[in-house]
A and B are shown apart, each in its own frame.
Chain A
Amino acid sequence: MLACDAARDRIAPWIAGEIDLQAGRDLEAHLGGCPDCSAEAGRIRQALAILETGEAPDPGPLYWSSFGPRLRARIAASARRRLVLRLASVAAAAVAVAGLAVFQIRLPSAPPWLAGGGRAAPPAPRALTVAEAEARLGALLRQAVAEGQDESDLDAILDEIAPLDLLDAADDLGRISAEEGRALFEELLDEQV
């Protein structure tokens, strides 16, 4: 006859219909002659039955009437966040171009690395074009995915690199000032290094 410990190991698989025929018969024989294990099986069944019939909460019609609209608002906010991020990188690129122009006016003769000639040049700290800014952003996101971020977690990634408090500064059309754009873009570049 099956020992009680072994019998109890089989109760859950037996209830779930997940043991083979012979093991099931052995268990049933044991339960037939062992009130303790039989009671244990009864309690496991009872606990599972309570789960199965467990009250499925329904928050009610008022809740459901707001569920869809709230979800749509979330979807819109998420789309807006992406738009703002894109605009921010564009704004930052524009600021970088403007900054370079000022730099060139102050220096009558551009340094060799800026002029593009001369000796072993350090990496040129030149302005990014809009396309380059967007490419950087894309690279950041791909990098995050490569580091194990789920692609569907894109929003979380955007949250990380475009904090919401910064986005609060955006107006209704999602425009943000060049200064804020630059601040964001500098953060992006910092993180990439």
Chain B
Amino acid sequence: MQVDPDRQDGDERLVARFVQGDESAFDDLVARHRIGIYRLGFRLMGSHEEADDLAQEAFLRAYKALRRFRGDASFRTWITRIAINLALGARRPRGATVPLEDAPGLQCAAAGPDAALKRQVRRAVGDLPNRQRQVLVLKVYEGMKFTEIAQITGISIGTAKATFFQAVRNLRGRLAPAGGAPGEGA
């Protein structure tokens, strides 16, 4: 994950302050990470409502467990793991989500000639199996290394890689067949 070292250092200090009883340090941690966790939730769950709920719940759990946080990963990695685990456990009723374009108040630049393709890609990501969607989101959106993905999702590095490649192929397979399905044209 591309974490700015200063930022990570700041997180460590905030966690330490919180453990020593400074409640406001937690609010600062939330302010630093809320948009990242919200966006992760949005990409994993597909709707504003679910992303909001996931982010709130992830921070609630973080609050309750932060005093036991041992700092063997960065705060960002740790809160991401909490959010990922919540998303894995969440039930996603098909068709019950609000597409981004329809969600009120969202600043979304989905206009222009490739808007349809963007929509198609997003839908294809939403259709991936849970684990593949997770690994894809962590790799592409969060910019994580496979070692971090393995750490966060609790799978081996090899499995993380294989899952990612599978996700990419699946994603491609779910897009409109511009130029034939994979395997043709041998």
> With A3-B186, A40-B179, A59-B105 as given contacts, are A71 and B56 in contact (CB-CB < 8 Å)?
yes
> With A13-B161, A54-B118, A59-B106 as given contacts, are A68 and B42 in contact (CB-CB < 8 Å)?
no
Chain B minimum-CB-distance residue to A7: B186
> With A12-B165, A43-B172, A75-B63 as given contacts, are A50 and B179 in contact (CB-CB < 8 Å)?
no
Chain B minimum-CB-distance residue to A36: B185
Q: Does B90 contact A (CB under 8 A)?
A: no
The complex places the Cα of A56 from the Cα of B35 at a distance, in Å, of 10
Please tell me if the beta carbons of B165 and A67 are within 8 angstroms of each other in the complex: no
Q: Chain B residues near A105 (CB, 8 Å)?
A: none
Chain A min CB distance to B72 (Å)? 16
- Contact with A155, one of B64, B118, B175 (Cβ below 8 angstroms): B64
Chain B min CB distance to A3 (Å)? 7
Q: Does B96 contact A (CB under 8 A)?
A: no
Q: Does A74 contact B (CB under 8 A)?
A: yes
Which residues in chain A, 1-46, are within 8 Å of chain B measured between CB atoms?
A: 3-5, 8-9, 11-13, 15-16, 18, 34, 36-37, 39-40, 43-44, 46
The complex places the Cα of A155 from the Cα of B106 at a distance, in Å, of 31
Please tell me if the beta carbons of A51 and B183 are within 8 angstroms of each other in the complex: no
Please tell me if the beta carbons of A57 and B107 are within 8 angstroms of each other in the complex: yes
Main secondary structure of the interface of B (DSSP, over half): helix
Q: List 7 A-B contacts (CB under 8 A).
A: A13-B165, A16-B161, A51-B141, A54-B121, A57-B48, A67-B34, A71-B30
B residues adjacent to A (C-beta < 8 A) = 27, 30-31, 34-35, 38-39, 42-43, 48, 51-52, 55-56, 59-61, 63-65, 82, 85, 100, 103, 105-110, 114, 117-118, 121-122, 124-125, 136, 139-141, 146, 161, 164-165, 168-169, 171-172, 175, 178-180, 182-186
Other 5 A-B pairs with CB < 8 A, given A72-B27, A78-B60: A40-B172, A59-B105, A75-B63, A152-B64, A152-B65
A residues adjacent to B (C-beta < 8 A) = 3-5, 8-9, 11-13, 15-16, 18, 34, 36-37, 39-40, 43-44, 46-48, 50-52, 54-60, 62-64, 67-68, 70-72, 74-75, 78, 150-152, 154-155
